[in-house]
Each structure stands twice: as C-alpha cells, then as structure tokens.
Amino acid sequence: MRLFGWATENERGVTYETLGINGAQASIVMGWDQDLLDAHVARRDPALIVLAYGTNEAGNRDYTSETYQEMYAQLLARLRKAAPTASILVVGPPDRMYRSRGKWVPYPRIGGIIEAQRAAALAAGCAFWDLRAKMGGEGVMRDWMLAGLAQRDHVHLTVPDIRKSEPRCSRT
C-alpha cells in the first residue's frame, strides 16, 4: 500500500493542504507521473493552487533565467492540465543572503529566478506575488534576521519568539 496523503474535512469551509519537501525545487514536479498527478489533483478539486519555489533554485547553477522560465512554464502547464479550473498563484522567493569575505551580501541569482517566475506565471494566466519586494527588497533579509523573523542562515524565515517581544514591566 502507498499512502499519498490524508485529509479530514467538513462539508463546508476551506481545506488547506501543503506539500512541503525540504530542499525541494520546482523541477521535482517534472519527475512525477502525469496520470497519477492528474488523478490525485482531480480528486482534491482545488480552487486555488499556490506555488512557492525559488530559494533553492537560486543556488542551482545549472539554470539560466531562460531555462528556469521554460521549466517553470512546463510546471504550470502540468498543473493547469491537472486542475483546469483552479486559480494558480506563484509566490516568488524571499530575499536570501550569503556570507562572503566576512559580510552578508544579497544572493545574486534570486532576481533572475523572480523575473523568470513572473514571466512564466503571467504567460500562463497565473497570478504572481513578489515576496522579496513585499519584504522590502534585495538585501533586507539581514533586517528580518535581526528582528527575529528569519534564521541566522539569512535564508529561512521563522516566527518571532513572542517571549522575547513581550513588553517587560519594571518596578518603580
């Protein structure tokens, strides 16, 4: 027996499902059996599919902006085939930084990934949301890390530690 997922639902309301795979890249979907993908997605009948890839691909030197855009367009076509009536939202990657000569600097390939995703999404009639721009733009990951909203690796986002952010009362 192979178990592909588990869902519990009410008759009405929103069902949220996630398929998170650590270290995954968008191209992982290209290796999935299309008939099996179609069957499973059709069974779920999604109204909205949200894709959030790009951070890991930025470190993959096999991609150019053009080849990444082509692969991403194929990914969107596969999902559109599997769920022809679903809306698709592409969420671009967050800012990412790396350490170079003792300093944290913006990861140079994120911009190309964002533009490739944007172009592929718009060509396929999908929505695109630029997460890095909404964070504050290139190089802002350092500020997010200092605010407790990103891990010290300057790559992964996190939730703030509310114990540290609670107001402290002083005795007078």
DSSP, residue by residue, 84-150: TT-EEEEEPP---EEEETTEEEE-TTHHHHHHHHHHHHHHTT-EEE-HHHHHTSTTTHHHHHHTTSB
3-class state of residue 155 by DSSP: coil
Dihedral angle sign, alpha carbons of residues 142, 114, 72, 87: positive
Residue range 17-48, pLDDT digits in tens: 777 677 788 888 888 899 998 998 888 889 99
pTM reported for the whole predicted model: 0.84
Proportion of the chain in helix, strand, coil states, percent, rounded to 5: 40, 15, 50
Return the pLDDT at 71.
95
CB distance 56 to 93 below 8 Å? no
Q: At the fourth CATH level, which superfamily is domain 26-139?
A: SGNH hydrolase (3.40.50.1110)
Domains of the chain, residue spans:
26-139
d(C-alpha 93, C-alpha 81), whole Å: 24
Alpha-carbon distances, residue 51 vs 11, 76, 80, 93, 121 (angstroms):
26, 9, 12, 10, 10
Q: Which residues of the chain have pLDDT under 70?
A: 4-5, 20, 160-172
Query: CB burial class (10 A; 0-12, 13-18, 19+) of residue 125?
Result: exposed
Cα distances (Å, whole numbers) of residue 46 to 17, 84, 138, 145, 169: 10, 10, 33, 34, 48
Looking at residue 2, its pLDDT comes to 72
120 neighbors 69 (Cβ within 8 angstroms): yes
CA 120, CA 53: separation in Å to the nearest integer? 13
